[in-house]
Structure 1
Amino acid sequence: MLNQQNQIDKKREMISCVLMCGGKGSRLNTDPTVKVEKPLLELKNRSLIEHMIDAVQNSKKKFKIYAAVSKNTEKTKDFLKSRYSNDITLIETTGSGFSNDYLVVLQFFKDKENKEKNRIQDFGNNKILFLPIDLPLISSKTIDEITDLYQSSPSIAIVVDKNLFVQNNFIPSPFVTEMSKVDYCYTGISVLDFHTITALEQIDQIREVPMIMNNLELVYNINTVGDLKKAEKFIGL
């Protein structure tokens, strides 16, 4: 009985983290010099997805890591199976866009929650952290700060001042929200209270509340070889 309680306590400390890596990488695919899938693109001799995994694993938090993969990232899937089979659980998505893949992942957790109602669950503290793998400069410290944010709503989305992208010669995301007459770009990072999923008849009813985090690590979004070179230069500095 005591051993079972210890297992429950450990689960309660754990946060689910989903690495979103099933996209097409459309802008990179148009570059003839790029021969690999976006998650496997190397920055300082390590792939983008390895940089992200390192940041998550070196966090002060305890994460159970998932990776959302698709037919677009078959080699990434093979890489994760061979290198991280004991550390990362794969979730198959459609690869038809970030929003659609996000909904597939939510359905995965909803199904998992329903199956495990009478058993010890993987996600005890109710949070799911979504991280796109094209933000390889994100640090463990920033990940800790994001998961520690006060969550006044079931789902929060991290946004960055659009001017920060412009000032650092990055193309701002087209997904923008305006607050106090300032435009903020969505980063693709979000934190969700997963228990809200089971309370909804349709998972696409979830509404995200934007939360500002003007951190340069979140500006270095890798969509082109030029972006990769900027990130290399930034690391060098």
Structure 2
Amino acid sequence: MPNSQNQIDKKRNMINCVLMCGGKGSRLNTNSIAKVEKPLLELKNKSLIEYIIEAIQNSKKNFKIYAAVSKNTVKTKEFLKKRYFNDITLIETNGSGFSNDYLVVLQFFKGKENIGKNGTQDFVNNKILFLPTDLPLISSKTLDDITDLNQSSPSIAIVVDKKMFIQNNFIPSTFVTQISKIDYCYTGISILDFHTFAGLEHIDQIREVPMILNNLELVYNINTIGDLKKAEKFIDLQNLKSVRND
């Protein structure tokens, strides 16, 4: 197959992955450690955002990575520009909340679609995966599993049983949905089919359908320094198990 055809196929299979890292991180405890921008908060000598970038880069999928940054995360923006300048495209948002930043990102892609009507645009056939940067334990396999989900709805949002948060001593998210009389917490992870919203006149018409994925990796959502310590302990236990198995 000609190289040009290989490149076309690769672009068609590409999944756009947007790291949502423009928030204030206001739920972190107000101490000297927490004054670091949340994506740059260190877990075992590595920042939260580095964990998730590594998971994306080690995935079997063909991801194109974007990062939504704002005035709240100036240092994160500089870190990404310096460390990943060839690998990550930055999207500027206003940092006024996840929902507003989400709409800004969608408008960015919608604008790209309009520009690309001359045939030069390379991601019109792809999905967009939105990821928060405070899920450092998410693995490449889990990312693969999420993108392989049978997406019957144009937009899906990953949810986890609320009981899993409570059982692991995490404070459940206040963003909850009920399915079959069971409460599920939104994780901040969602997948959107590009074609669905490209034709919409108003992008805020998009409605997400919750999809259950009861994965422990998605419970370790870092919102407090206490959560950070729990994640450290989890990593230590996993490393210990690995050594024993060897």
TM-score range, shorter chain: over 0.9
Corresponding residue for residue 93 of structure 1: 93
Are the aligned partners of 2:16 and 2:66 in contact in 1 as well (CA < 8 Å)?
A: yes
**2:176 matched to which residue of 1?**
176
- Map 1:28-43 → 2, pairs under 5 A: 28=28, 30-43=30-43
Contact 2:124 2:195 in 1 (8 A): no
Q: CA shift at 1:126, angstroms?
A: 2.1
Which residue of structure 1 lines up, in the alignment, with residue 199 of structure 2?
Answer: 199
Q: Confirm or deny: 8 A CA contact 2:29 2:225 kept in the other structure.
A: no
Check the 8 A contact 1:127/1:193 in 2, yes or no.
yes
TM-score by length of 2: 0.93
Give the match for residue 190 of structure 2: 190
| Counterpart residue type for residue 76 of structure 1 | T
Task: Report the 3-state secondary structure (helix = DSSP H, G, I; strand = E; otherwise coil) of the residue aligned with 1:100.
Answer: helix
CA contact (8 A) 2:40 2:47 kept: yes
Q: Secondary structure at the match of 1:195?
A: helix
CA–CA distance in structure 1, aligned partners of residues 125 and 217 of structure 2: 26
CA distance in 2, matches of 1:6, 1:172: 45
* 1:17-49 alpha-carbon deviations (Å, 9 max, x no partner): 000000000012633442310000001111000
Match of 1:145 in 2: 145
- AA of the residue aligned to 1:50: E
- Given that 1:127 and 1:191 are in contact with CA atoms closer than 8 Å, whether structure 2 keeps it comes out as yes
List structure 1 segments (4+ residues) > 4 angstroms apart after TM superposition. Answer: none
- What is the alpha-carbon distance in structure 2 between the residues aligned to residue 230 and residue 126 of structure 1? 36
- Contact persistence 1:160–1:219 (CA under 8 A): yes
TM-score (normalizing by structure 1): 0.96
The answer on whether the counterparts of 2:124 and 2:194 sit within 8 Å (CA) in structure 1 is no
What SS is found at the alignment partner of 2:211? strand
> Which residue identity does 1:100 align to in structure 2?
N
Give the superposition deviation at 1:227: 0.3
Cα separation, 1, equivalents of 2:79 and 2:69 = 11
| Amino acid of the structure 2 residue aligned with 1:14 | M
Q: Deviations over 1:120-153 (max 9, x none)?
A: 4332542000000000000000000000000101
CA RMSD of aligned residues (A): 1.2
CA distance in 1: counterparts of 2:25 and 2:200, whole angstroms: 31
Provide structure 2 residue ranges, at least 5 long, that are not aligned to the other structure. Answer: 238-246
Partner letter of residue 82 of structure 1? K
Q: Secondary structure at the match of 1:128?
A: strand
Give the share of equivalent positions with the same residue, in percent.
81
1:87-139, CA deviations, whole angstroms, 9 ceiling, x for partnerless residues?
Answer: 00000001011111000000000000110122343325420000000000000
How many residues of Structure 1 are paired with residues of Structure 2 in the alignment?
236
Give 1:6 deviation, angstroms: 3.4
- Residue 66 (structure 1) aligns with: 66
Structure 1 unaligned blocks of 5 or more: none
